[in-house]
């Protein structure tokens, strides 16, 4: 059950323009639906940008007619409208019609769905950053010389932006502390990133040890102590921006303990500062020991290319760990289709000059290739191994359970000794070696 199932944005006409080809409205329609609109019509145009309306003047009036005919409440424009285009277009439409561009549409989806303080603050900040230049322009036009400090909407917005940035910094520090703690406990952090609807959450559910509320690691106290539903379930839906907040679960991959974080999806053609505003996603990507870049391989070649490009742009800027490309939804493809998709992904990555591991083809839905993916992830994580031979004491058994919690321990109990081979994070192996040395010297003394 999702809050957004009850959203009703009203009836919308989508409009799109492209200089080079007839616009494809599939994605903007799906974004409009995710924001709760019922799409009742569309108007598209192939031409260069008109300064006044963005669309050509004739097309803009045609759009107004369609709005009236279909009794629409809203126009959703695929692109970014300048403040002037926004007001001029709105003037053409029947009174009461609302106008939303691609950027505002994404903000609407997030504003409706964000639950935690961090997520809400991020959306508010992105909205203010978007509105500021527009309000500044409007203020300059109307109050050319009346730059009063008192009650200036621009100053007010600037203050709110500063306050929100400070608040987000605090929340970000808390998240970083949490990550440091988990690393110290021997967890490797792995992030799932990628275009919206690629199947990230489905993959998280498949890889996680357990995905019920109990095992959720996003303690609400890290936000504001509020009881927060968003961290309790990982929802999967064939809808854009189903996941609006990062969520972390435990997973054990070939005995290696990792924390997997599902992140907010990416979408093409958004101004960079909107993506930046969702800093929790970028922080998780930056902190991860490995990033799984999930792509929907069942998309046609052009879309696949565009989505991989969008993903790569973000990863190139933020990922520090190795990137494992995950070519998902291959259950929808035959062998030739899989090869083609793997080829496109490899191509885009090579063109972008990002260094990644070999792409892995999987179906998160039915499990094809997931074992291979586990191996690939473990292979990408920094790791080391050690063997120990210890006296059979209570201390040694405590050591063994400590190892079991922190990595992959293979234990043989003999009458005279306990033999262990262990694989895990280098820092854990170092600590284990120090402890084992103590145990051995205690054993000799006793």
Ligand X SMILES: Nc1nc2c(ncn2[C@@H]2O[C@H](COP(=O)(O)OP(=O)(O)OP(=O)(O)O)[C@@H](O)[C@H]2O)c(=O)[nH]1
Binding site for ligand X (CB under 6 A): 196-202, 236-238, 240-243, 265, 328-329, 331-332, 363-365
* Nearest distance from C-beta of residue 115 to ligand X, angstroms: 14
Q: Please say whether the beta carbons of 175 and 191 come within 8 A.
A: no
* Near Mg ion by CB under 5 A: residue from 25, 201, 277, 311: 201
> In 3D, which of 125, 64, 124 has the Cα closest to residue 91?
64
**In angstroms, what is the minimal distance from the CB of 278 to Mg ion?**
13
Q: Least distance (Å) from ligand X to the CB of residue 218?
A: 15
Q: Which does 332 bind (CB under 5 to 8 A by kind): Mg ion, ligand X, none?
A: ligand X
Segment interacting with Mg ion (CB under 5 A) among 164-172, 238-246, 320-328, 340-348: 238-246
85/310 with CB nearer Mg ion: 310
The one of Mg ion, ligand X, none whose footprint includes residue 191, by CB under 5 to 8 A per kind, is none
Nearer to Mg ion, 203 or 418 (CB): 203
365, interface contact from ligand X, Mg ion, none, CB < 5-8 Å by kind? ligand X
Nearer to ligand X, 100 or 202 (CB): 202
Only segment of 53-61, 239-247, 284-292, 427-435 that touches Mg ion (CB under 5 A): 239-247
Residues 6+ apart with CB under 8 A from 166: none
Distance of alpha carbon 446 from alpha carbon 435, whole angstroms: 16
**Residue 364 partner contact from Mg ion, ligand X, none using kind-dependent CB cut-offs of 5 to 8 Å:** ligand X
Closer of 149 and 238 to ligand X (Cβ)? 238
**Three-state SS sequence of the chain:** CCHHHHCCCEEEEEEEEECCCCCCCHHHHHHHHHCCEEEEEEEEEECCCECCCECCHHHHHHHHHHHHHCCCCEEEEECCCCHHHHHHHHHHCCCCCEEEEHHHHHHHHHHHHCCCHHHHHHHHHHHHHHHHHHHHHHHHHHCCCCCCCCCCHHHHHHHHHHHHHHHHHHHHHHHHHHHHHHHHCCCEEEEEEEECCCCHHHHHHHHCCCCCHHHCCCCHHHCCCCCCHHHCCCCCCCCCCCCCCCEEEEEEECCEEEEEEECCCECCCCCHHHHHHCHHHHHHHHHCCEEEEEEECCCCHHHHHHHHHHHHHHHHHHCCCCEEEEEECHHHCCHHHHHHHHHHHHHHHHHHCCCECCCEECCCCCCCCHHHHHHHHHHHCCCEEEEEEECCCHHHHHHHHHHHHHEEEEEEECCCCEEEEEEECHHHHHHHHHHHHHHHHHHHHC
Q: CB-wise, 194 or 424, nearer to Mg ion?
A: 194
Q: Does 243 bind Mg ion (CB under 5 A)?
A: yes
- Residue 373 CB, nearest approach to ligand X (Å): 12
- In the complex, what is the shortest distance from the CB of residue 2 to ligand X, in angstroms, rounded to a whole number? 11
Question: The tokens 């997931």 sit on which residue?
Answer: 370
Q: Which is nearer to Mg ion, 44 or 201 (CB)?
A: 201
Cβ closest to ligand X, residue 265 vs residue 407: 265
331 touches, from ligand X, Mg ion, none (C-beta below 5 to 8 Å by class): ligand X
Asked whether the beta carbons of 216 and 250 are under 8 A apart, the reply is: no
Smallest distance from ligand X to CB 109, Å:
10
Q: Assess contact for 164 and 138: CB atoms under 8 A.
A: no
Closer residue to Mg ion, CB minimum distance, 242 or 408: 242
By a kind-dependent CB cut-off of 5 to 8 A, residue 59 interacts, out of Mg ion, ligand X, none, with none
The β-bridge relationship of strands 37-46 and 98-101 is: unpaired
Under 8 Å between Cβ of 172 and 180: no
Nearest distance from residue 265's CB to Mg ion, in Å?
Answer: 6
Select from 23-31, 129-137, 193-201, 348-356 the region that touches Mg ion (CB under 5 A): 193-201
C-beta of 127 vs 202, nearer to ligand X: 202
From the list 102-110, 141-149, 177-185, 236-244, the region that binds Mg ion by CB under 5 A is 236-244
Residue nearest to Mg ion (CB): 243
238 is in the binding site of which of Mg ion, ligand X, none (Cβ under 5 to 8 A by kind)? Answer: ligand X
Between residues 164 and 204, which has the closer beta carbon with respect to ligand X? Answer: 204
Least CB distance from residue 363 to ligand X, whole Å? 4
- Residue 5, contacted partner among ligand X, Mg ion, none, CB below 5-8 A by kind: none
Q: How far is the CB of 247 from Mg ion (least distance, A)?
A: 9
Answer for the pair 103, 132: CB distance below 8 angstroms, yes or no: no
**CB-based closest residue to ligand X:** 265
Which residues of this chain interact with Mg ion, rule CB under 5 A? Answer: 201, 242-243
């Amino acid at each position: 059950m999702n809050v957004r199932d009850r959203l009703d944005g009203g009836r919308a006409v989508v409009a799109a323009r492209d200089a080079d080809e007839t616009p494809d409205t599939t994605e903007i329609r799906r974004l409009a639906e995710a924001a709760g609109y019922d799409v009742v019509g569309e108007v598209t145009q192939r031409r260069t940008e008109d300064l006044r309306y963005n669309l050509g003047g004739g097309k803009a009036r045609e759009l107004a007619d369609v709005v009236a005919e279909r009794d629409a409440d809203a126009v959703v424009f695929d692109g970014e409208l300048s403040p002037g285009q926004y007001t001029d277009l709105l003037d053409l439409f029947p009174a009461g019609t609302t106008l939303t561009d691609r950027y505002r549409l994404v903000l609407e989806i997030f504003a409706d769905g964000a639950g935690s303080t961090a997520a809400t603050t991020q959306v508010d900040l992105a909205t203010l950053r978007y509105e500021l230049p527009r309000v500044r322009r409007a203020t300059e036009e109307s109050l050319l010389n009346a730059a009063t400090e008192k009650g200036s909407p621009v100053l007010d917005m600037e203050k709110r932006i500063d306050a929100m940035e400070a608040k987000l910094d605090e929340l970000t520090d808390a998240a970083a502390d949490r990550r440091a703690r988990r690393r110290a406990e021997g967890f490797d952090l792995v992030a799932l990133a990628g275009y919206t609807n690629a199947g990230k959450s489905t993959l998280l559910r498949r890889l996680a040890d357990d995905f019920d509320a109990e095992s959720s690691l996003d303690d609400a106290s890290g936000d504001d102590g509020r009881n927060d539903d968003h961290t309790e379930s990982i929802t999967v839906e064939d809808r854009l921006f189903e996941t609006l907040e990062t969520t972390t679960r435990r997973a054990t991959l070939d005995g290696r303990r990792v924390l997997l974080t599902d992140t907010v999806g990416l979408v093409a053609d958004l101004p960079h500062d909107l993506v930046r505003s969702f800093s929790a996603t970028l922080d998780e990507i930056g902190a991860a020991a490995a990033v799984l870049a999930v792509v929907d391989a069942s998309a046609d070649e052009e879309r696949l290319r565009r989505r991989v490009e969008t993903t790569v742009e973000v990863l190139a800027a933020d990922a520090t760990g190795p990137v494992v490309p995950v070519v998902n939804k291959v259950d929808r493809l035959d062998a030739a289709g899989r090869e083609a998709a793997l080829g496109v992904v490899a191509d885009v990555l090579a063109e972008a000059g990002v260094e990644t591991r070999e792409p892995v083809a999987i179906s998160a839905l039915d499990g094809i290739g997931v074992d291979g993916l586990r191996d690939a992830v473990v292979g990408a994580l920094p790791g080391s191994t050690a063997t120990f031979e210890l006296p059979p004491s209570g201390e040694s058994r405590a050591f063994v359970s400590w190892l079991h919690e922190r990595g992959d321990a293979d234990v043989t109990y003999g009458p005279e000794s306990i033999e262990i081979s262990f694989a895990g994070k280098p820092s854990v192996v170092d600590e284990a070696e120090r402890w084992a040395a103590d145990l051995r010297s205690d054993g000799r003394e006793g």
